[in-house]
């Protein structure tokens, strides 16, 4: 072995050792539920694991689960920052003000807050256009129902959930003018017992399709028991209930976003942005449409999905009126993001009222 | 043969010793659990109990946080301990805490954005009133209809949670919040904000109130007739009745006081560390305070120390999760062990172990 080779080898070894030991970036995740909830937090944690796998030794991830919103989350974020996190994802709406507070104290740490609307120089926000997925669900639901009664389990009457109800209703009504929506509010994101009760009540009232904006699989189980009720997976694929009652699903896929933002911190190109991605960017996935759905309905739903993904069709396209009959969108007009972000009204045809 | 024999009087030595014994047993069994989970046990215990106080990276931040976390626990547990001493079981402090926060925040938001030095004192009174009012429901039902205050106060927690969900989406919703649930942030409303008295000390007005409550409770129990009546009612109810203690008055006093203190704790929390009324504003202080009250032997100074210890396991537990990747549930289990071992070792303050056959031919 020549001297030159030896030197090159030593340099290479040193470089490798350097890259193996230097974790360039530490990324923290704050979760509102346990990582095993099978829904919201589960999908965020899958995103975290994808970051680890993608970057290997260059990135270290840390996380904390079941963090209550409010003062406790502020402390958790501070401790993460003190521990040397460079980028922190706070994955629940209730972390909004705490994120802004902690970010002000650590100007060199980057923060990303999911589903909120407050930003700063070192705070980005990100969310998914779940309502695009709701449009596809609404279409399938409208075609599948025989009783023309669709049950909807809402979590909280906030814009995100109301947007989903409107989107599902518009697209169900488009293919089935006789369709009726019956909405039950569970006032929880995750409570299997309450969700099961809500599903049973809706089924008793004649619903043969159940849509849910809560995270557990309890409504799926209730539908399976009832025998002839169609459901859709929420947040996670819930494929254990496929092909029936679960005929499709909306899947949150945070992995591409988490990888891209981590890469931006590694490259030093991170800036504060407001991201609201849908099917097109891969943040919202439509779970496989099962064999229980007739082939023509499946083809229509997939065409709708592709049109939403390419941007050729918008889920809120006029003519649309508000529930009280006042005009909202003219023929061919599409909703702007501001109205969608703060949506606090039902569209014409829905008979329920939004509780407060 | 091993059997338990009742001591003529509870062992004073063990009364003081069992909390320490319980902490040690928790460390050992908890360490074992961490080891089974594949994490270094000694390091985990060190991170939980030592790092929040002395780690150069975290201590400057987490030491004041101990006070922030312990403050509401002290306030609530002091109130609960009065009732527990008299045999009155208020299990619903969580609900009283929520109602105090709602009343306190509502008092401030009603006059928003006026600035006045009177707003904060008014919020304290409103918060205490809200908690008191919520505790009066089980108190009146108990004294009038002899219902069980354990059940009533516990069930009212769920009622309070529903009211919390309702007001955060309706009555107290931030009109500039884009339709999202949750009130305005009181931290950004100077007259209503419960700020730190010294920056980075963790000392906000709720912590001050907690210390005052400790002193007040100590004086009440040792120097005041009402304190004597409370103790007598709990230890010898018949004697209390002969001595002319009015049980109705004791029930109303104990439930009212614990409700008012829990309500104040909620108000200080919503105006300070939490900042706003939200759907998930409450995070279990009312239930944890029950553990704290017993861990502190229902004694004011004991409660003060037990609250600080509990706060330490919370903050240290978070650090352990972060640094070792421990699952959140294992930390909760760890905290639960503390109560379990306390209750288990408590048996020995009232009983002693006897080896051999029983003389009187009793249970074998």
**For B95-115, what is each residue's pLDDT tens digit?**
999 999 999 999 999 998 899
User: By the CB < 8 Å criterion, does B266 face chain A?
Assistant: no
Is A167 within 8 Å of A304 (Cβ atoms)? no
Separation of alpha carbons B325 and B332, rounded Å: 14
B354 or A15: whose pLDDT is higher? Answer: B354
Q: Does A191 touch chain B (CB under 8 A)?
A: no
In chain A, domain spans: 10-128, 130-252+283-341
- Spell out the CATH class of B64-324: mainly alpha
Distance from CA of A314 to the nearest CA of B (A): 22
Domain spans, chain B: 1-39+326-364, 64-324
Residue range B331-337: mean pLDDT, rounded: 89
Does A68 contact B180 at a Cβ distance shorter than 8 Å? no
Q: Tell me: the pLDDT tens digits for A136-189?
A: 999 999 999 999 999 999 988 888 899 999 999 999 999 999 999 999 998 788
In this chain, the answer to whether the domains covering A10-128 and A130-252+283-341 adopt an identical fold is yes
Minimal Cα–Cα distance from B105 to chain A, Å? 15
The predicted structure's pLDDT at residue A356: 65
In contact, A142 and A175? CB cutoff 8 Å: yes
- In angstroms, what separates the C-alpha of A67 from chain B's closest C-alpha? 9
State whether A94 and B279 contact (CB < 8 Å).
yes
Kindly state the tokens that stand for A326.
């006042």
What is the sign, positive or negative, of the torsion defined by CA atoms of B41, B47, B53, B56?
Answer: positive
Tens of pLDDT, residues A188-200: 888 889 999 999 9
Q: Does B328 touch chain A (CB under 8 A)?
A: yes
Distance CA(B32)–CA(B43), nearest Å, equals 12
Q: What's the token pair of residue B229?
A: 């009546």
Asked if the C-beta of B194 comes within 8 angstroms of chain A's C-beta atoms, the answer is no
User: What is the count of residue pairs from A and B with beta carbons less than 8 Å apart?
Assistant: 99
Candidate from B181, B283, B328 with C-beta closest to A65: B328
Q: Would you call B158 an interface residue with chain A, using a CB distance cutoff of 8 Å?
A: no
Q: Any idea of the CA torsion for B264, B266, B269, B271, to the nearest 10 degrees?
A: -70
Task: Give residue A309's pLDDT.
Answer: 95
Whether the pLDDT of residue B352 is over 80: the answer is yes
Q: What is the pLDDT of residues B42-70, one digit of tens each?
A: 999 999 999 999 988 888 888 999 999 99
Give the mutation candidate from B97, B321, B324 for the A interface (greatest A CB count, under 10 A): B321
Residue B362 in this model has a pLDDT that exceeds 60: no
Please calculate the CA angle B60-B65-B68 and round it to the nearest 5 degrees. Answer: 150
Which alpha helices (DSSP H) does chain B contain, by range?
12-36, 41-49, 51-54, 59-85, 93-111, 119-145, 149-169, 205-223, 225-235, 237-242, 247-271, 285-295, 300-324, 328-350
Q: Is A276 on the interface with B (CB under 8 A)?
A: no
pLDDT tens digit sequence for A3-16: 455 444 444 444 44
Q: Which residues of A touch B274 (CB under 8 A)?
A: 70-71
Nearest CA in chain A to B273: A71
Q: What is the mean pLDDT of residues B17-46?
A: 92
Q: Do B179 and A344 touch (CB under 8 A)?
A: yes
> Is residue B58 helix, strand or coil?
coil
Residue B355 phi, psi dihedral angles, 5° rounding: -105, 150
Least confident stretch, A22-26, B36-40, B356-360: B356-360
C-alpha B109/C-alpha B121 separation (Å) is: 14
CA distance B38 to chain A (A): 17
Least confident window among A86-100, B240-254, B337-351: B337-351
* Residue B364: per-residue pLDDT: 42
Q: Which residue of B has its CA nearest to A35?
A: B327
β-bridge pairing A25-30 and A87-90: parallel
Residue ranges, chain A, pLDDT below 70:
1-23, 356
Pairing of β A327-329 and β A320-321: antiparallel
B274 touches chain A (CB under 8 A): yes
Classify domain A130-252+283-341 at the CATH topology level.
Rossmann fold (3.40.50)
Instruction: Give the C-alpha separation, B78 to A356, whole Å.
Output: 36
* CA dist B45 → A280, B23, B24, B101 (Å): 48, 11, 11, 35
Helix (H) or strand (E) holding A63: strand A59-64
Q: Tell me what the mean pLDDT of segment B137-141 comes to.
A: 96
Task: Classify B362 in phi/psi space as left (phi over 0), alpha (psi -120 to 50) or beta.
Answer: beta
Residues 6+ apart with CB under 8 A from B13: none
pLDDT at A157: 84
Report the pLDDT value the prediction gives residue B94, as an integer from 0 to 100. 97
Region A10-128: CATH code: 3.40.50.2300
B18 pLDDT more than 90: no
Inter-chain residue contact A69 with B280, CB threshold 8 Å:
yes
Q: Do A94 and B278 touch (CB under 8 A)?
A: yes
């Amino acid at each position: 072995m020549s001297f030159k080779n030896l030197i090159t080898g030593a340099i290479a070894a040193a470089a490798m050792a350097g890259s193996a030991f230097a974790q360039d970036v530490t990324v923290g995740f704050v979760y509102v539920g346990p990582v095993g909830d099978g829904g919201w937090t589960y999908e965020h944690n899958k995103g975290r694991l994808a970051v680890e796998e993608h970057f290997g030794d260059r990135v270290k991830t840390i996380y904390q689960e079941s963090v209550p919103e409010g003062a406790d989350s502020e402390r958790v974020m501070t401790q993460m920052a003190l521990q040397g996190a460079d980028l922190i994802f706070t994955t629940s709406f209730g972390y909004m003000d705490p994120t802004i507070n902690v970010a002000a104290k650590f100007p060199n740490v980057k923060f990303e807050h999911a589903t909120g609307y407050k930003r700063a120089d070192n705070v980005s926000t990100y969310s998914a256009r779940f309502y695009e997925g709701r449009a596809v669900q609404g279409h399938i639901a409208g075609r599948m129902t025989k009783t023309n009664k669709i049950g909807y389990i809402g979590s909280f009457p906030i814009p995100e959930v109301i947007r989903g109800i409107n989107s599902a209703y518009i697209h169900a009504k488009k293919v089935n003018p006789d369709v009726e929506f019956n909405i039950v509010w569970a006032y929880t994101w995750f409570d299997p017992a309450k969700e099961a009760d809500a599903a049973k009540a809706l089924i008793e009232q004649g619903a043969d399709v159940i849509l849910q904006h809560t995270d557990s699989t309890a409504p799926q189980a209730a539908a399976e028991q009832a025998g002839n009720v169609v459901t859709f997976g929420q947040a996670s694929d819930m494929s254990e209930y496929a092909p029936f009652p679960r005929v499709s699903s909306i899947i949150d896929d945070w992995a591409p976003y988490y990888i891209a933002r981590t890469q931006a911190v590694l490259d030093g190109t991170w800036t504060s942005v407001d991201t609201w991605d849908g099917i097109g960017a891969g943040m919202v996935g439509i779970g496989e449409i099962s064999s229980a759905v007739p082939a023509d309905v499946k083809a229509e739903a997939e065409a709708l999905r592709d049109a939403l993904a390419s941007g050729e069709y918008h889920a809120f396209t006029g003519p649309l009126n508000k529930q009280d009959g006042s005009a909202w969108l003219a023929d061919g007009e599409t909703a702007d993001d501001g109205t969608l972000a703060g949506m606090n009204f039902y569209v014409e045809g829905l008979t329920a009222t939004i509780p407060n | 043969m091993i059997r338990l024999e009742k001591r003529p009087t509870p062992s004073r030595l063990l009364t003081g010793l069992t909390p320490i014994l319980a902490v040690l047993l928790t460390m050992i069994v908890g360490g074992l659990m961490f080891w089974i989970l594949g994490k270094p046990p000694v390091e985990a215990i060190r991170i939980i109990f030592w790092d929040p106080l002395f780690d150069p990276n975290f201590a400057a931040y987490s030491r004041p946080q101990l006070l922030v976390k312990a403050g509401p626990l002290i306030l609530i547990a002091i109130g609960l301990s009065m009732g527990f001493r008299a045999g009155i079981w208020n299990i619903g402090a969580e609900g009283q805490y929520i109602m105090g926060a709602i009343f306190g925040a509502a008092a401030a938001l009603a006059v928003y954005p006026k600035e006045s030095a009177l707003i904060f004192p008014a919020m304290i009174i409103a918060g205490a009133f809200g908690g008191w009012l919520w505790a009066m429901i089980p108190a009146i039902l108990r004294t009038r209809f002899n219902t069980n205050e354990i059940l009533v106060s516990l069930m009212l927690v769920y009622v309070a949670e529903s009211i919390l969900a309702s007001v955060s989406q309706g009555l107290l919703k931030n009109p500039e919040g884009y339709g999202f649930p949750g009130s305005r942030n009181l931290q950004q409303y100077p007259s209503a904000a419960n700020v730190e008295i010294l920056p980075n000390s963790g000392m906000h007005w709720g912590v001050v109130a907690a210390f005052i409550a400790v002193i007040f409770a100590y004086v009440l129990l040792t120097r005041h007739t009402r304190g004597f009546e409370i103790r007598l009612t709990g230890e010898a109810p018949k004697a209390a009745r002969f001595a002319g203690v009015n049980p109705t008055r004791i029930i109303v006093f104990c439930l009212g006081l614990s409700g008012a203190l829990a309500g104040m704790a909620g108000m200080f929390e919503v105006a300070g560390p939490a900042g706003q009324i939200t759907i998930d504003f409450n995070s279990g202080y009312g239930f944890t305070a029950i553990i704290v009250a017993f861990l502190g032997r229902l004694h004011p100074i004991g409660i003060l120390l037990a609250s600080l210890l509990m706060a330490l396991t919370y903050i240290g537990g978070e650090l352990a999760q972060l640094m070792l990747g421990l699952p959140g549930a294992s930390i909760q289990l760890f905290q639960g062990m503390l109560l379990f071992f306390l209750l288990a070792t408590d048996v020995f303050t009232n009983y002693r172990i006897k080896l051999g056959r029983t003389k009187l031919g009793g249970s074998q």
